[in-house]
Structure 1
Amino acid sequence: MTTTATGSATIHPAREPSFWDRQGDLIMRRPFNEWTFTHMNWLMPTEYVPRGGRHLPLPLSPCPLDLTYRFDDRDLTLTDLHRRTFTTAFVVLHHGEIVHETYPGAFAGPRSRMQLFSISKSVTSMLIGIALADGAIGSVKDRVTDYRGDFRGTAYEECTLADLLDMTSGVGDAEVWDVPDSGIKRFEQAVMGGGDVTQVVRSAPRRSAPGESFNYSTFDAQILGWVLEAATGRSLAGYAAERLWNHIGADRDAYYWLTRARPRTAIGGGSFNATARDVARLGLLMANDGVVDGEQVVPRDWVRRSRGSELPQLSVGALGPSGYDHYGYANQWWTLGESSFHAFTGLGVHGQYLFVDPAADVVIVKCSAWPTQDDERRDRETITALRRIADHFA
C-alpha cells in the first residue's frame, strides 16, 4: 500500500484487493480444492492434535454396497453419488467395522487429513461437553462474558453458552458466502489475510433476542472455542489432544490450522483436519453414547443433547432461512428426527458429512470438493443416499 503525506496528515489511497483478500476464494475453487482440502497444513499456520500412544484399529469387514437410492425420480448408485457430488473420501461403519471405504478424490487416501470445515463445530461441542464434566465450565447457562470479558458491550453480552450451542444467539447477519461484505466473508478475509478476527466477531450486530430464533453462525461457534480456551487454560488443539484425541484410538495426528495474524488462534467453527477414518471414530463415539473401549469420553447426557432439541424453533423443518427444511438443530449438530435414536449429522461447506444413525449403528463420513460452499440440491441428494445406506443395514 502506498501513502502520500500532506502536511501532518497521512492520506491512505483506496487499496486494491490483494492476493490475501482472495485467498479463501482461491483455496475453495474447483479443481484446486481437491488438493487444498487435503493440504491445508501447507497453506496456513497449524497446531497439531497428537494422537498419543493408544491405537484402536477399526476392524475391516468389507461388503459390496450395490444398493440404489431414489432421487429426482431416478434410481442412482453410490458411483453416481460420488460423481454428482464430488466425493473425495467415503467411509461407512456398521457395528464399529469398516464395511465400505473409497477415495475418489485425486489426492485423498486413508492417511489423508481432510479439511472438515464446520464439522469442526460438532467437535467443539464435544469438547464443551467434556469441559462441563471436568468442571472447567460451570454450566451452559453461563454467559459468554463469564469467560471472555472483552465481549462486554457487544451484542454477545447477554448470550449464554446454550444460546451459542443452539445457534440462537440472535447475533449476526445471514451467513452468505457470495456477498463480498457479509460477516462471514469479512471473517474469512481476517483469518486468512492477517486481520483482527476478534474485532470482526465483536462488531457483529444484534438481530433478535437471545434464544428466540435459529440463525446459523460460525461466529457463535468461534466464541465457544474461545470460551473453551479461557476456561481450560489450554489451546483448542491442546485440550482436544488431551481429552479427546488421545482416547479414541486415532490412526494419525489431527490438526487445526490457525489465523495468519498473531496471536494465532484456531477456528473452532471450521479449521479441524483429520483422516476420514478418524472422523468416523468420532461418529462411532457419538453412536455409542460417548463411550470408547469401555471409557466414557464424552458425557452420555451431552451426546443425547446433541441428537435433538425440544425447542420448537430447532425442530426439523422449523429452522427458517438459514437451515434447509430437512434439518433441525441441536448442540452444534444437524438433526433429522425428534427422537434421540434418530440420525443426526455434522456438516461442513463444500460437502463434508459426519452422519450418525445410532438405531442402525451406522456411521458414514463423506468428504467432498463441491464447487460452491452451499448447495441445497447436492445436500438433499447426499442425505437421501446416506439415509438409504443406514436403512440398508438397519
Structure 2
Amino acid sequence: MTSTTQRPATLAPPAKAPSWWDRQGDLIMRRPFNEWTFTHMNWLMPVERVPHGGIHRPLPVDPCPLDLTYRFDGGDHTIAELHRRTFTTAFVVLHHGRIVHEAYPGAFAGPRTRMQLFSVSKSVTSILIGIALAEGAIGDVHDRVTDYRPDFAGTAFHETTIAELLTMTSGVGDLEAWDVPDSGIKRFEQAVMGGGDVTQVVRAAPRLAEPGTRFNYSTFDAQLLGWVLESATGMSLAAYAADRLWRHLGADRDAYYWLTRAHPRTAIGAGSFNATARDVARLGLLMADNGVVAGRQIVPRDWVRLSRGNDDPATAVGALGPSGYDHYGYANQWWTLGSASFDAFTALGVHGQYLYIDPSAHVVIVKCSAWPTQDDPRRDLETITALRRIADHFACAR
C-alpha cells in the first residue's frame, strides 16, 4: 500500500494593516482628538510663519448678548445650542468692526489660539491672487497655468486658465470623496502627510469635463492657484501673504501655513492656513470694507466684488450640482449666497470652518468647529441658517 503526502494549499499572505503613517490623516481628523489637533497643527507638521509685522490694530469690544433663536428642523434653537449641535470651538461676531460677541466652547480654544482653517485657506489664496494681479506679478486671469508652471504641460491642466481655477470649472479631477480610500483627495492627503509627491498626484488628475462648463469642487484647482502665485511672485505663499496682506491687518498673532513632509516642502494653499479666530475676523472685515484697511486699499475693490457673486449660470446659487449644496453658489474661491454684489458670502472649510460676511448688515462671523466628519449637509445648513439669523438681527439693530 502506498501513501502520498498532500501539500498544503498556498495561502495568500494576510493583507497588511494600514500603518499609523498611512492613517495619520484620519486620526488627526477624528473626534474627540480633532479638538486638539485643529489647534496644534504646528506640533504635527512642518510650518512656515506668516509674521504679523509691527502694526497692531486692536478690535474694539462692545459685548452684546445673543439671546436670539433661529428656526431649524421644526424647532427654535439658541446660539448655545448651535455650538453644542455643531461642535463649535471658536465663535466671533463683528458688527461695524466691533466684537459684539465672542465664545470659545472648544476644550483647547481661546482668543490667542490659532485654528486650523482647512479650505478657508482657498479664499485667502484668492485674496492673494487678486493682489498679485493688481501689482502685475500675474498678467491676467485668462493666462494659462502653463504660463507659470510649465511642468503641467501635457497634463489635464494643459489648457486651463487661472479664471477656471478660481471658479473651479477646470473640468479636471473626480468628485472629492473623503470616505473613498483611493479617491484623488485621499491620495492628496496621504502624499501631503506621508511624504509623497504631491505635485505628481495633482499632475495625474484626469479630465472629466470641458473647461468652463461645469462646477466641480476641487482642492487640486486651489492648490494649483497657490503654486501659480509662488511661481509668479518668486516668493513662498507664507512670505507673500505676510508682506502683502497680514502685516497690514493689525493682526494679534503670526499666522502660519503647515507644509508637506516631503522636500521640497510646499504650503497647502488649498487648506493649511492657521490663524486666530479674531484675525480671521479681520480678514472678513477687510472683505466687508471693499479691500480697505485703515484707509489703504489692500485688495482691489473689483476683486472683492467678484468674490461676492457673478452672473455665471454654471456657478449660480443652486446650480453647483453634486459637489455643492443647493443654498450656495461659487465665485473666486468663495461660496456665495445670492446674486447681488452686497449679498452675504462665505469661506468654508471641512469639519465646520466658516468666515461669513454680510456687507449690507456690516456683520462678519467666524465659526471654527470640530465636526466628526469632513462634510455634513445638515450641520452646514443649520450653521448657515443660524449665521443668517445673527446677521439679520444686527442689520435690524443698526
Alignment of 1:87-236 (within 5 A): 87-236=88-237
The whole-number CA distance in structure 1 between the counterparts of 2:64 and 2:307 is 30
1:7-30 CA-partner distances (Å, limit 9, x unpaired) = xxxxxx986522111010000000
Name the SS of the counterpart of 2:360 in structure 1. Answer: coil
In structure 2, what is the Cα distance between the partners aligned to 1:17 and 1:382?
35
Letter of the 1:72 partner, please give it: D
- Would you say 1:266 and 2:232 are equivalent positions? no
User: 2:142 & 2:368 partners in 1: Cα distance?
Assistant: 34
Q: Distance in 2 between matches of 1:364 and 1:20?
A: 36
Q: Does 2:72 match 1:71?
A: yes
Partners in 1 of 2:23 and 2:296 — Cα distance? 45
Measured after TM superposition, the shift of residue 40 of structure 1 is 0.1
What is aligned with 2:308? 307
Match of 2:32 in 1: 31
User: Partner of 2:361: helix, strand, or coil?
Assistant: coil
Q: Any stretches of 5+ residues in structure 1 without a counterpart?
A: 1-12
* Alignment partners' CA distance in 2, 1:18 and 1:264: 23
Amino acid in structure 2 at the alignment position of 1:387: R
Query: How far apart in 2 are the matches of 1:300 and 1:14?
Result: 56
Q: Deviation at 1:309?
A: 1.6
Q: Equivalent residue of 1:388, what SS?
A: helix
Q: AA paired with 1:362?
A: V
In structure 2, give the amino acid aligned to 1:65. L
Match of 1:9 in 2: none
Match in the other structure for 2:19: 18
Deviations 1:218-242 (A, max 9, x none): 0000000000000000000000000
TM-score by length of 1: 0.96
Letter paired with 2:130: G
Q: Number of residues paired by the alignment? A: 382
Letter in 2 for 1:330: A
Larger radius of gyration: 2
Q: For each residue in 1:96-134, what CA deviation from the matched residue of structure 2 results, as whole angstroms up to 9, or x when unmatched?
A: 000000000000000000000000000000000000011
Distance 2:16 2:72 in 1: 48
TM-score of the two chains, using structure 2 as the length reference: 0.95
**AA partner of residue 344 (structure 1):** F
1:241 equivalent in structure 2? 242
- For residues 64-117 of structure 1, the C-alpha deviation after alignment (integer angstroms, 9 at most, x for no partner) is 110000000100000000000000000000000000000000000000000000
- Establish whether residue 372 from structure 1 lines up as the match of residue 381 from structure 2: no
What corresponds to 1:3 in structure 2? none
Deviating beyond 6 angstroms after TM superposition, the runs of 4 or more aligned structure 1 residues are none
Query: How far is the alpha carbon of 1:187 from its aligned partner?
Result: 0.1
The percentage of aligned residue pairs carrying the same residue is 81
**Matched residue, 2:345:** 344
Describe the SS at the equivalent of 1:250: coil
AA at the equivalent of 1:147: Y
2:31 match: secondary structure: coil
Alignment match, 1:383: 384
Measure, in 2, the Cα distance between the counterparts of 1:80 and 1:169: 40
Distance 1:176 1:83 in 2: 26
SS in 2 for 1:208: coil
1 CA distance for matches of 2:299 and 2:55? 17
Q: Residue in 2 aligned with 1:331?
A: 332
Unaligned runs of 5+ in 2: 1-13
Structure 1 residue identity aligned to 2:336: T
